[in-house]
Amino acid sequence: MQGVRQLKPDTLAFLLLAAWWVFNLLQAAFTGLADDEAYYWYFSRHLDWGYYDHPPMVALLVALSSWLPGLLGIRFFATLLQPLYLLLFWHLIRPADASRRDALLYVLLCFSQPLLQLYGFMAVPDAPLMMFTVLFFWAYRRFCRDNSLVSALLMGMSVALLGYSKYHGVLVVGLALLANPKLFLRGRLYVAGGVALLLFLPHLWWQYEHDWASFRYHLVGRNAWGYDLSFTLEYLATVAVIFNPLWIVHFIKGLCKPASDEDLTLRRIFIVLFAGFVLFFLVATMRGRVQPQWLLPVSMPVVAMVFHAGRRSRFVHTAAIICVVLFTVVRVVAVINPTHLRGQLWEGDEPYRKLAAVADGRPVEFLGCYSFAAKYAFYTGQPTHCSSFYYSRENQWQYDTLDRTFAGREVVVADLGDLHGESLEVEANRNIKYMVVTDFHPMRELKITCMEPIDFCFPDSLPEFPLTIRVTNPYSYDIVSTEDNPVCISLWFQWGTNTVAAATAPLSDTLHARSERVVRPVMTMSSSVPEGTHLSGLAIGYAAFYPAANSPQYRTSVTRTSGTTTVKGDWKLK
């Protein structure tokens, strides 16, 4: 104890955070792989300037960790970031008269935050997001103080690194500038912006080459479910829990406590950041569910406010100790798992090895379950690919052409849902459906264009209508419908949470390799589609399982009058 009393506050903070890092390393080594982490591991096998749903920083971190065995080969560098950004944040908010008691309280408050506990050992984009959020705070304060060219360059670099980490970084930067609008009068702020843009150009170029896929996904495709009151209620409950309700009173005190000129710059950022994040994602509940980790950057303002308000509070010190002890016990129990909890963090490699035994060296093509495919590749090392089908969300696998090498081979097609095939029990009450396709030919890269507007009226007693479509086949092989592996063209409709292949027609023409062909299938409406304007599109694939979406998405209206159905959509090629 005498040695501890001689430590400086900064040294004590460093040692405590180092000890916490070791604990996180142990957790990382012995806690099962999350689905998203496997997906990011898949990213790291194909390093690029961007990915379908995320910027590239998380892939780089995983790749840098790959020299280590097992799960640390995914998580090592992600675990390293947390003690670094927490140490930097301590130096940002520490009082001039900081004591060892202050250093201890700061570390305890950090680890009384549930999100900081969870995202200290997992390889997810939130790890670099937090690192570069704190780095941005540091660069921002330095820029506000001296307005030097070096500070502008540092701030521009931190902004670019935020962008490469997670798109939520835009909120961090925007709200920080909103907290001090006078900065817009400084010419060197635009220098910082130019540096950030220049460094971010490779990612923007990747987006351009991939039709702005990430931006379209996050701004349009994601969470476009319509409003449900439960989204807002769940969000408000989440906000109350993830920032630890024990700190509400002292957080409010921290907001009201007068700040010195030295602290005022960061205080303004923290207040605007907290309010901005909470309100922004409250509005986002109008479109769908908000995930708790999206609020992670707000953990730092909470820690700062409670720390400054509770430095002399015995309650804050005692409650923080209790919280950290409880969280630590929960995490240790989660690793040991004496109650045999189920879930992605506890499933291990057994489900994937069972499927690999069935595949017996044959490639496995997964339908829609992109994270399961990534886990299968990680745990077994066997050739695999994942295809999106017409009602699953697109993902990074769509840019992977490995499935072209499966053409003409015997392939195991697997699905976690409703595939009509064999059933393999991989865990209690969890099955994988699979079927063996003897002469498999991928079709997801076929492109379909409707050559004329859809405007058909047919009696409900004879629900048929013709289509004239152009199909482009980029593959080196012909697409032929056979008796053993019939191929169908489908017209699908989406309304609410329902997506149905409502009209189908068998493929009667051969689609020759590397060519275009106009075909005229007669579609048969086999499912009832409600009246209204729906999202729709065309797909082509094996009749035995769900095809990919091979056309752009369109708006198509369905109306019914006097026993007839009218289907209209301006699908004509422009």
Q: What is the pLDDT of residue 261?
A: 53
- Give the separation between CA 167 and CA 127, rounded to whole angstroms: 13
Domain residue spans of the chain: 2-336, 350-440, 447-569
Give strand pairing partners of 440.
409
pLDDT tens string 287-312: 888 888 899 999 999 999 999 888 88
Q: Residue 143: count other Cβ atoms within 10 Å of its Cβ.
A: 24
What predicted TM-score, i.e. pTM, was given to this entire model? 0.92
**pLDDT band at residue 5 under the 50/70/90 scheme:** low
The pairing of strands 384-387 and 364-367 is parallel
CATH label, 447-569, candidates 2.60.40, 1.10.1740, 1.10.132, 1.20.120: 2.60.40
Look at the block and give the residue holding tokens 């020299």: 67
- Give the separation between CA 402 and CA 418, rounded to whole angstroms: 25
Structure tokens of 478?
A: 């012909």
Q: What is the pLDDT of residue 365?
A: 94
Are 554 and 567 in contact by the 8 Å Cβ rule? The answer is no
What percentage of the chain carries pLDDT values higher than 70? 95
The number of C-alpha atoms within 13 Å of 538 and in the hemisphere containing its C-beta is: 24
Closest Cα partner for 77 from 24, 134, 11, 133? 24
In this prediction, residues 61-87 reach a mean pLDDT of 95
- Give the separation between CA 323 and CA 330, rounded to whole angstroms: 11
Q: What is the DSSP letter of 344?
A: T
- Give the separation between CA 34 and CA 358, rounded to whole angstroms: 24
For the range 398-405, what are the long-range contacts, defined as Cβ-Cβ under 8 Å and sequence gap of 24 or more?
398/52, 398/444, 399/52, 399/210, 400/46, 401/445, 403/363, 403/365, 403/442, 403/444, 404/442, 404/475, 404/476, 405/363
Exposed, middle or buried, 2 (CB in 10 Å: 0-12/13-18/19+)?
exposed
456, pLDDT greater than 70: yes
Q: What is the pLDDT of residue 144?
A: 92
- Give the separation between CA 35 and CA 57, rounded to whole angstroms: 18
- Give the separation between CA 90 and CA 10, rounded to whole angstroms: 8
Buried/exposed 304-324: b ≥16 CB within 10 Å, e otherwise: bbbbbbbbebeebbebbeebb
558, pLDDT greater than 70: yes
pLDDT tens string 493-547: 888 777 788 888 888 888 999 999 999 988 888 777 888 888 888 999 888 888 8
pLDDT: which is higher, 401 or 509: 401
